[in-house]
Amino acid sequence: MKLKEDIAIIGVGVTPFGELFEKSFEDLVVDAAYEAYADAGVTKDDVDAAWLGTTETPYISGNDGEAPNLGDYLALFPKPVSRVANFCTTGMEAVRHGAMAVASGMYKMVLVVGAEKMRDVPSRGSLIARHVNMTHPVLCKGRTAPGQFAIRATRYLHEYKLTDEVFAKVAVKNHKNGALNPKAHFRKEITLDQAMKAQMVAEPLKLYDCCPTTDGAAAVILTTKEEAQKRKADYVLLQGIGLAVTGGYYTTMFDADNSYLNFRATQEAAKQAYAQAGIENPRKDLDVAECHDCFTITELLNYEDLGFCKKGEGYKLIEDGVTHLDGEFPVNTSGGLKSTGHPIGATGVRMVSEITQQLRGRCEKRQVKNAKRGLAHTLGGPGIVSCVMVLGR
Amino acid sequence: MKLKEDIAIIGVGVTPFGELFEKSFEDLVVDAAYEAYADAGVTKDDVDAAWLGTTETPYISGNDGEAPNLGDYLALFPKPVSRVANFCTTGMEAVRHGAMAVASGMYKMVLVVGAEKMRDVPSRGSLIARHVNMTHPVLCKGRTAPGQFAIRATRYLHEYKLTDEVFAKVAVKNHKNGALNPKAHFRKEITLDQAMKAQMVAEPLKLYDCCPTTDGAAAVILTTKEEAQKRKADYVLLQGIGLAVTGGYYTTMFDADNSYLNFRATQEAAKQAYAQAGIENPRKDLDVAECHDCFTITELLNYEDLGFCKKGEGYKLIEDGVTHLDGEFPVNTSGGLKSTGHPIGATGVRMVSEITQQLRGRCEKRQVKNAKRGLAHTLGGPGIVSCVMVLGR
């Protein structure tokens, strides 16, 4: 099944990502929303309802991240504002809910904001760290995010007889792209040598294999295709939206063949989105993609799970330069989570913004030529929830 | 605007509410969902997606209340599962999102579960209490839930020259109804004398003016009207869904006339739902209602905000017995939050279940005769977010 109609994205806004100690959660939300309003050529009065995607903020700061506060900062009263959360897919979940709401006929135009303020607490104040302190049955055994993905990285190298240089190459590519993205947390290139000699975090993942902890917000304005055309907006359509949940926190379900490598959540979410968008050969039918490179290994596995290549061949795409900005199929033109950073609730919305701007031809130095169709993908929890969106002109 | 089609409720499930130390969060979710499946005559395989409404649980117990875990307990993998939260409207928000998703065409049948496990921590472990400990700028000044509603109660008595007996009468009515509800937390009648002589909590609100802290879960199965008819289901339609946000946590927006009594959130949410359902005279067009009696004063204000009477005349409905079970317009036939308890995420779903069962004629000793149309209403935060649903046959 699919939405009764494709929903149009008519405006996007992304704050600079980084360590934004001088900006409050409210500032980030307002900055992202007003950039999206301006881009769409609308005002807050045109918006019928709003969604907030945020994960850590309410845990850390109490009520600041709750839905009604979004209405507060943005002066949306008395309009409906809701909050959704689903681990690292939170931002894309907010977009998904906004799109379903417009397609349902309930609202004509909605604002979706994803935001996260993560640097105001020390690392040990973060949600995951607190769970470790709370003797969480899984996390207290060291199965933190780097630990979990390191297990897959180790097996990947073993299975395909590779060295960790393949991970470093992903980092080098994404830092190179990030250097061209004025909104990225890290806007500098790194060398392969730097990546290889970096400090170990969770073997075999080193410093540059891990995305940073970052503050930031992103927003999109969604409406019907009819309304977008009426307004002569420079719009992009949401042609497919897939969400899959394949495990709880303690019951990770691995890929169908139990290789303990790939993520079934991504495979299932992609299957839904591709069916809706009529995509049969992702590599051929898509021109650009943003995928969830929380760690470099994840990007390689995503290539396989999203059908950009066969299982076990993800590393070839980076070795052969296929996914480089000047390659045949550019992935993470923004710099990915690796360079832009990963403010959890914001990430999915930022990815949708990046693909929207690519399809509109507005990405300047990191623009992919003739991009007509693109994909955005997030993966959450211990690889057990994934959202995939196909965007097209 | 409204949903392109009315969505059908074909099954409901409610766990017993109470101090359920012997039941885990997982148990409650499973019990409610499987009762709803059985009632709808469906299995989990018929469900395309699910929503979880829960508020306190993830704060208290970490990941246990996150969306993917719902898929875990209920063996829904790899289907989409999402979590929404919006203070005390959380449960009804989950129903609202499920209904929009079905109306959008994305899914044919969805499961909505609201659940909360609140008694596993002492009162000082609760979300609000923790905010007080954290020197929350508002709550640390004593503006906890009882304190906030006590301010309105005081003004109500002053404004309309009443005594607190009017509050006690609401408590007596709701305890009487609760005694007829096998799922209620408190299933015993109380006398007016007991209510009047009870311990003071926040003047003028005494013990029986306040709803208890409770564990519980509720579930509903939603589908299209066409599918409900095809299955020959005993269904009820969602004819109107309103959500309004009229303040952040620090910026409560009072009613339009600034009397500091009524809740603009409820008024605005009702306006939306009534317009969608074509309701012009709520008292005449509706036969039964569940409203958010977190405190007895709230029920009286709700009568006014929901248009059951004029402003300042809410107390007359209870004085005249209009809203009693055998009155002209019964309100809170379940016993309300007062007697059933208030597991935050579960409450809204439980209310929708109660109205569904009233319209199906399945409420046994608390059945309202010939109920054709009913209303469910929740109010959240410091009275700044409200959801109103109109259900009909």
Q: A104 to chain B nearest CA, in Å?
A: 4
Average pLDDT over residues A321-331: 98
B265, A78: Cβ pair inside 8 Å? yes
The alpha-carbon gap from A173 to the nearest alpha carbon of chain B, in Å, equals 32
Which residues from A are below 8 Å from B241, CB to CB?
106
Binary contact (B245, A134; C-beta < 8 A): no
Cβ distance B106 to A2 less than 8 Å, yes or no, reads: yes
Catalytic residue among A97, A175, A292, A342: A342
Report the pLDDT value the prediction gives residue A147, as an integer from 0 to 100.
87
Q: How confident is the model at residue A20 (pLDDT cuts 50, 70, 90)?
A: very high
Contact assignment for A100 to B93 by CB distance below 8 Å? no
CB distance B22 to B121 below 8 Å:
no
pLDDT band of A247, cuts 50, 70, 90: confident
The question of whether A136 is a catalytic residue gets the answer: no
Q: How much is the pTM?
A: 0.96
- Reported as a single tens digit per residue, the pLDDT across A346-392 is 999 999 999 999 999 999 999 999 999 999 999 998 788 999 999 99
Q: Do B385 and A104 touch (CB under 8 A)?
A: no
User: For residue B68, which residues of chain A lie inside 8 Å, CB to CB?
Assistant: 86-87, 245, 247-249, 380-381, 384-385
In this prediction, residues A95-110 reach a mean pLDDT of 98
Task: Write down how long chain A is.
Answer: 393
ipTM for the assembly = 0.95
Quick check: B66 and A131 CB within 8 A? no
Q: DSSP letter string over A221-287?
A: EEEEHHHHHHTT---EEEEEEEEEE---SS---B-TT--SSSBHHHHHHHHHHHHHHT-S-HHHH-S
DSSP string, A44-113: GGG--EEEEE-SSHHHHHGGGGSHHHHHHHTT-TTS-EEEEEBTBTHHHHHHHHHHHHHHTTS-SEEEEE
Residue A31 has pLDDT above 70, yes or no: yes
- Which residues from chain B sit within 8 angstroms of residue A249, using beta carbons? 63-64, 66, 68-69, 72
**A111-133 per-position pLDDT tens digit:** 999 999 888 877 666 655 555 44
The single-letter code of the amino acid at A310 is: K
Instruction: Give the pLDDT confidence score for residue B49 in this predicted structure.
Output: 98
Q: Per-residue pLDDT for A137 more than 80? A: no
Q: What pLDDT is recorded for position B256? A: 60
Residues contacting B35, CB < 8 A, separation 6+: B12, B13, B14, B15, B219
Model pLDDT, residue B254:
56
Among the partner-chain residues A78, A103, A245, the one whose CB lies closest to the CB of B245 is A78
Of the pLDDT bands very low, low, confident and very high (cuts 50, 70, 90), residue A64 is low
Quick one: pLDDT at residue A55?
A: 85
What pLDDT, on the 0 to 100 scale, is given for residue B205?
A: 98
Q: Among all residues of chain A, which has the CA nearest to that of B270? A: A78
Determine the pLDDT at residue A135: 46
Q: Is there a contact between B106 and A100 if contact means CB atoms under 8 Å apart?
A: yes
Of A72, A85, A86, the CB nearest to B247: A72
User: Phi, psi (5° rounding) for residue A357?
Assistant: -70, -35
Least CB-CB distance to B77: which of A67, A80, A253? A253
Identify whether B78 is preceded by a cis peptide bond (ω within 30 of 0). Answer: yes
The three-point CA angle B359-B360-B362 to 5° equals 110
From first to last of its 393 residues, chain B has per-residue pLDDT tens of 999 999 999 999 999 999 999 998 889 999 999 999 999 999 999 999 999 999 876 655 555 567 777 888 899 999 999 999 999 999 999 999 999 999 999 999 999 999 998 888 776 666 555 554 444 555 556 667 888 899 999 999 999 999 999 999 999 999 999 999 999 999 999 999 999 999 999 999 999 999 999 999 999 999 999 999 999 999 999 999 999 998 865 555 555 667 788 999 999 999 999 999 999 999 999 999 999 999 999 999 999 999 999 999 999 999 999 999 999 999 999 999 999 999 999 999 999 999 999 999 999 999 999 999 999 999 998 788 999 999 999
Chain B residue nearest residue A130, CA to CA: B62
Separation in Å, CA B346 to CA B16, B89, B118, B223, B340: 11, 9, 11, 20, 11
Contact B268 A87 (CB under 8 A): no
Provide the annotated active-site residues of B: 88, 342
Instruction: Collect all residues of chain A within an 8 Å Cβ-Cβ radius of residue B1.
Output: 48, 105-108
Residue B66: the pLDDT is 76
Instruction: For tokens 């007080």, name the residue.
Output: B132
Query: Percent of chain A beyond pLDDT 90?
Result: 80
Amino acid symbol at A106: M
For A207-229, write each residue's pLDDT tens digit.
999 999 999 999 999 999 999 99
Residue A31 distance to chain B (closest CA, Å): 18
Residues from chain B contacting residue A82 (CB–CB below 8 Å): 84, 86, 93, 96-97, 243
Contact yes or no for B62 and A251 at CB 8 A: no
- Residue pairs between chains A and B whose CB atoms are closer than 8 Å: 199
pLDDT: is A134 or A12 the higher one? Answer: A12
